[in-house]
Amino acid sequence: MAARNPNFIVKTGWKKWAYNLSRFNQYGLRHEDCIWESPEVKEALRRLPADILDERNFRIVRAMQLCCNKVVLPQEQWTKFEEDIPYLRPYLEEVKREIQEKKDWDKQ
């Protein structure tokens, strides 16, 4: 239903354009690999399952190695917009809810 809406197509087109312009996908990174590590993000990373955290660490180390060598991955290995699913967001939202709940409890 949403795909037929012309505004949805325009917004998705802009998102794809901005996603490809950022160039982190050329190193095989996902959007959430580039998040600044605030205390909330660090706690969410601590809660990630080991296999997902290992995949994230591999992507970051590989990207650093590619950057040092001043090369990018072949285009078929770039992270595609459609494949970049949020893996950290559920954990981050949970951490933020817990922090807010603690603040609410401290008010009382």
Domains of the chain: 22-107 (1.10.1090.10)
Give 8's pLDDT tier (boundaries 50, 70, 90). low
Note the pLDDT of residue 3.
Answer: 52
pLDDT 10s digits, 71-84: 999 999 999 999 99
Q: What is the pTM of this model?
A: 0.81
pLDDT 10s digits, 33-69: 999 999 999 999 999 999 999 999 999 999 999 999 9
Give 107's pLDDT tier (boundaries 50, 70, 90). confident
Give 108's pLDDT tier (boundaries 50, 70, 90). confident
Note the pLDDT of residue 14.
Answer: 86
Note the pLDDT of residue 7.
Answer: 57
Note the pLDDT of residue 1.
Answer: 44
CA pair distance 56, 29, nearest whole angstrom = 8
Note the pLDDT of residue 2.
Answer: 47
Three-state helix/strand/coil letters over 40-87 = HHHHHHHHCCHHHHHHHHHHHHHHHHHHHCCCCCCHHHCCCHHHCCCC
